[in-house]
């Protein structure tokens, strides 16, 4: 496909991470797309949830009203007011996301999370590391957010990756229209699929949505694409699914299907500061995974089909 045709196919991207080794085989470039139908309480990428670009504010980088104050003058909606300790404060309810303040912020305390990119622009970054993909068996991973919320853009990216002989996969929460999932799965040899819990009530409480559609899509995926390799991942979250019974139930469910591997991901709070930047509270507070918990749960799994990863 020509660059001219690709230029019209846009997606909203919030990050492109190169040299990743935890999101598929080999060395990979991970393209993170905005938009997610779930609201997982432990989400490490809260900037991925809304599809539209968002304003982030890092108060620690603010130069202060006395020395600067440029953003307040730039905002036509009065969203930036006087805060404590000579800093500004952001009234989110007043912000219309014109982002005029960002252009006038010399310290980048105010910045935009998410930008519109064409397929050609994304592929230019992805192709930079082609040599590493071919040597390591890596490639492109499309993540989010939930990639299926931008299914047309993902489809175009996958086609371009194939044209350049770059292996590609997606990471999905499975909460999507079957038609979108099926169209994309038909272009893949492998897929990463989250199953967080088989308990419907707990799943709804901790993610904001039922797990019925997710499990239905998983079973359809296995039946419709028998040659597709599926890596099922479960993030282990304290108080939600960190019991041996929970993990054993998912293990037994996935073991019913061929060409399925199962893996645990340990809970972390690396994205907690992002909530502050977005003016939000982190839902799980100071909750931690008890020491030794991952070792306990790892004992439930048996290699090579099942494993625990630190990634």
The 10s digit of each residue's pLDDT in 236-246 is 999 999 999 99
Alpha-carbon gap, residue 214 to 173, rounded angstroms: 7
Residue 305 has pLDDT above 60, yes or no: no
Q: What is the CATH number of the domain that holds 59?
A: 3.30.70.20
The tally of domains found in the chain comes to 2
Residue 116 has pLDDT above 70, yes or no: yes
294, 293, 288: which is closest to 310 by C-alpha? Answer: 294
Residues 134 and 164 in one domain: yes
Share of the chain above pLDDT 90, in %: 93
The residue segments making up the domain with residue 136 are 3-51+114-308
Domain end position, chosen among 92, 112, 132: 112
264 or 7, which is more confident?
264
Residues 104 and 212 in one domain: no
Mean pLDDT of 131-140: 97
Alpha-carbon gap, residue 94 to 108, rounded angstroms: 20
| Residue 88: exposure state from Cβ atoms within 10 A (0-12, 13-18, ≥19) | buried
Residue 164 has pLDDT above 80, yes or no: yes
Q: Kindly state the tokens that stand for 53.
A: 């670009």
Alpha-carbon gap, residue 287 to 30, rounded angstroms: 28
Confidence label for 9 from pLDDT (cuts 50, 70 and 90): confident
Residue 293: strand, helix, or coil: helix
Residues 199 and 230 in one domain: yes
Confidence label for 301 from pLDDT (cuts 50, 70 and 90): confident
Residues 167 and 251 in one domain: yes
Residues 47 and 157 in one domain: yes
Alpha-carbon gap, residue 168 to 191, rounded angstroms: 9
Mean pLDDT of 160-180: 97
Residue 8 has pLDDT above 90, yes or no: no
- Spatial neighbors of 228 by CB under 8 A, at least 6 apart, are 185, 188, 189, 190, 191, 221, 222, 259
Residues 46 and 59 in one domain: no
Alpha-carbon gap, residue 180 to 176, rounded angstroms: 7
Residue 255's pLDDT is what?
94
- Spatial neighbors of 66 by CB under 8 A, at least 6 apart, are 86
Alpha-carbon gap, residue 237 to 155, rounded angstroms: 32
């Amino acid at each position: 496909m020509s660059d001219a045709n690709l230029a019209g196919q846009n997606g909203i991207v919030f990050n492109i991470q190169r040299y990743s080794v935890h999101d598929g085989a080999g060395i990979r470039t991970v393209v993170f797309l905005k938009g997610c139908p779930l609201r997982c309480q432990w989400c490490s990428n809260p900037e991925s949830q809304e599809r539209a670009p968002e304003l982030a504010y890092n108060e620690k980088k603010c130069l202060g009203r006395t020395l600067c104050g440029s953003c307040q003058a730039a905002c036509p909606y009065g969203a930036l007011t006087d805060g404590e300790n000579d800093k500004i404060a952001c009234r989110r309810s007043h912000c219309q996301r014109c982002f005029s303040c960002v252009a006038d912020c010399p310290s980048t305390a105010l910045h935009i999370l998410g930008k519109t990119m064409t397929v050609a622009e994304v592929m230019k970054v992805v192709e930079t590391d082609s040599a590493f993909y071919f040597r390591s068996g890596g490639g492109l991973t499309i993540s989010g957010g939930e990639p299926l919320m931008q299914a047309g853009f993902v489809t175009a990216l996958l086609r371009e990756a194939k044209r350049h002989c770059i292996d590609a996969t997606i990471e999905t929460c499975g909460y999507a229209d079957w038609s979108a999932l099926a169209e994309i799965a038909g272009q893949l040899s492998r897929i990463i699929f989250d199953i967080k819990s088989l308990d419907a009530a707990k799943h709804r409480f901790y993610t904001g949505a039922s797990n019925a559609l997710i499990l239905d899509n998983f079973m359809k995926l296995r039946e419709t694409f028998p040659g597709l390799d599926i890596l099922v991942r479960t993030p282990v979250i304290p108080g939600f699914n960190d019991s041996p019974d929970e993990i054993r139930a998912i293990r037994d469910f996935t073991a019913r299907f061929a060409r399925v591997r199962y893996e645990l991901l340990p809970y972390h709070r690396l994205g907690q500061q992002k909530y502050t930047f977005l003016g939000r509270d982190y839902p799980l507070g100071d909750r931690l995974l008890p020491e030794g918990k991952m070792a306990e749960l790892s004992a439930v799994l048996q290699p090579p089909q099942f494993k625990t990863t630190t990634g």
